[in-house]
Chains A and B, each alone.
Chain A
């Protein structure tokens, strides 16, 4: 019996529970339990990805019941890739975060790791499942854990940010649940494949239409598509660094995955693009999101906020790409999902190192950072280039697919927005680099004849290794993006 698909999700869940016990017995153990759980999960995800590439979609019946009666995990190329991405990022972040957690939340580490593991469990479960309601339950776990985390760090503004996040997040989840309810009225089933088969003959039903709209709005709220993004910047910038580094790359990307999964597997392109003709409206929405995210990022003076608004901008890329309605657009969206998770992770790793050493990361705190933290900045620069889209970093290739998809679909406004937002990102990052490189920091060490030099004050080695490794992976993924498209994305898109 091949139990790897279940193990991907169950290993972190079991680890979370043992870490929850360890809180009361020996607090320090919880970190090692967490590492073990996520390592098992990553290993299983890798195994599953290899199996899926070799022999096609895996179905795993929970409790042994066949699909529509019971719950099944259905792992094809797309979610095998996303599962590996999630478990890998969560594991690496945990390795990098040990010192951050010691610094920020030393008195309740055990509970922090427990909640962290539950959050990752939720993300993995959302990705692996083939059941609409099971997906909702797991969304609930990810949301609940992230509400708690956001309120944890900043004693003054954290709780308010968390409260806003709760209100909007609960509304988003309710929309999704309501949509599933409407679909259930017409189908009597919760299994994605089964629902897809039944609604294939009900394309003119208003109930299915409303179910579709509600599900999409719910997912859009959860992924912070402009103008439903208001919760995101505060929530991500006031949470503990160790958590914002995993929530920023993964939460929104997993919701993009859910959107793509609903579009491809449940409703089908035929329904969305040929029956409803929604493509154009949503691509316009995405265009506005891309531009608004970029402009709002320009207005910030805190690096955390800048990065948070860049996420809002990137969400626009993926939504637009997925809704262009052609293969290049969808390829671009899926490739960008992978790339953006890695890029954002690399940026936030750099950010975490800065927070660890500097405390505050307002732009004027960053003076002289290149000489103070050269290794951190190396990783950060590579990640920033990737966000801007400089070849050979991976950001370039997914943008290429997105732009060519936009031209194919005749959505020139979307292509223009992509290019403009890349320019805005370039301006933003060069503004940051200018401060870090040319302005010298006020606390220079003086010595001798007016010569002043900067003492290097780098982050701990474990954090540097992870952040540079991830930045290096951006180039590797960029160089091999042709292979990724050929072995994973195109076979997936052709298989539907």
Chain B
């Protein structure tokens, strides 16, 4: 079987190499990829869309339809994680730590939960004494990471960036919170329901903005139909793109958190990493 695999790999590799024989030269300015459509994008993108960043113009306008489905893919990944991993059964074993003495209680098969407060705190099975330095540094960092994420989303029109990147950065700040403290803090701060609604609503912002264009008499995703909703009709396409980028950002951030929480806690949302 290994030998057979080796033969297949060699054949496919040979095929790929054979195909490169007829490639245009490396970096050739006259190659079809850099002349056929790229000229049109480079020459007209700014005047047609009022967005200085051509990549954003292609991503969110010329080929915005693809990007919409990419966002749907992200949503789908989050939903699949929830669907397959989420386990609503209560965990029977619980661990508590008596704060003043540091004694750890292991409660088995008990329906009644201990009151958590000044005396006792919840801990995970693989609990590590919390580190003051890590907690403090992360607590300081997280707000800045989140502001940076918002900046990346909002600035997508002008510089590399946009909804996906901003959303990932925002999501990672939530994951950092879960890692530096523990998962329960994150789950208590942002309810599962909120994350679920944000994931769907983020994509819905994108599809909704695109779909509103249809009753306005233009084709799907044609931002120019939105003129009456914005105060600056000249930049209507740029504003439309900003709108969909915000939607993407919300969806991606929520899905990042959903995937992380479900995977580390094996769907129980109680403890993990």
10 pairs of A and B residues whose beta carbons are closest in the complex: A210-B19, A188-B36, A20-B200, A188-B32, A148-B80, A64-B222, A63-B221, A6-B220, A207-B22, A62-B65
Residues of chain A in range 30-87 having any CB-CB distance to chain B below 8 Å? 60-65, 68-71
CA distance A62 to B73 in the complex (A): 19
CA distance A141 to B66 in the complex (A): 11
Q: Mark B223-261, 1 if CB is under 8 A from A, else 0.
A: 110000000000000000000000000000000000000
Q: Mark A131-152, 1 if CB is under 8 A from B, else 0.
A: 0011001101100110110011
B residues within 8 A CB of A68? Answer: 36-37
B residues within 8 A CB of A3? Answer: 214, 219-220
What are 6 residue pairs bridging A and B, where the CB atoms are less than 8 Å apart in the complex?
A10-B210, A14-B211, A24-B197, A71-B63, A148-B80, A207-B20
- A115, B83: Cβ atoms under 8 Å? yes
- Are A62 and B76 CB-contacts (below 8 A) given A71-B63, A138-B69, A187-B36? no
- A14, B32: Cβ atoms under 8 Å? no
A residues within 8 A CB of B169? Answer: none
A residues within 8 A CB of B31? Answer: 185, 188
Tell me, yes or no, whether B18 is within 8 Å of chain A by CB.
yes
Q: What number of A-B contacts does a CB cutoff of 8 Å give?
A: 175
- B19, A206: Cβ atoms under 8 Å? yes
Closest B residue to A23 by beta carbon equals: B196
Residues of chain A in range 168-216 having any CB-CB distance to chain B below 8 Å? 178, 182, 184-189, 198, 205-211, 213-214
Tell me, yes or no, whether A496 is within 8 Å of chain B by CB.
no
Q: Mark B19-54, 1 if CB is under 8 A from A, else 0.
A: 111111000000111111110110000000000000
- A21, B197: Cβ atoms under 8 Å? yes
Closest B residue to A21 by beta carbon equals: B200
Tell me, yes or no, whether B3 is within 8 Å of chain A by CB.
no
Tell me, yes or no, whether A118 is within 8 Å of chain B by CB.
yes
- A18, B62: Cβ atoms under 8 Å? no
| Nearest CB in chain A: distance from B57 CB, A | 11
B residues within 8 A CB of A189? Answer: 32, 36-37
| Nearest CB in chain B: distance from A347 CB, A | 27
Tell me, yes or no, whether A111 is within 8 Å of chain B by CB.
yes
- B204, A21: Cβ atoms under 8 Å? yes
Tell me, yes or no, whether A125 is within 8 Å of chain B by CB.
yes
Tell me, yes or no, whether B203 is within 8 Å of chain A by CB.
yes
B residues within 8 A CB of A65? Answer: 61-62
Contact for B76 among A63, A144, A178, CB less than 8 A:
A144
CA distance A485 to B31 in the complex (A): 43
- A6, B200: Cβ atoms under 8 Å? no
| Nearest CB in chain A: distance from B46 CB, A | 15
B residues within 8 A CB of A152? Answer: 83-84
| Nearest CB in chain A: distance from B64 CB, A | 6
Tell me, yes or no, whether A277 is within 8 Å of chain B by CB.
no
B residues within 8 A CB of A210? Answer: 15-16, 18-19
B residues within 8 A CB of A10? Answer: 207, 210-211, 220
Closest A residue to B80 by beta carbon equals: A148
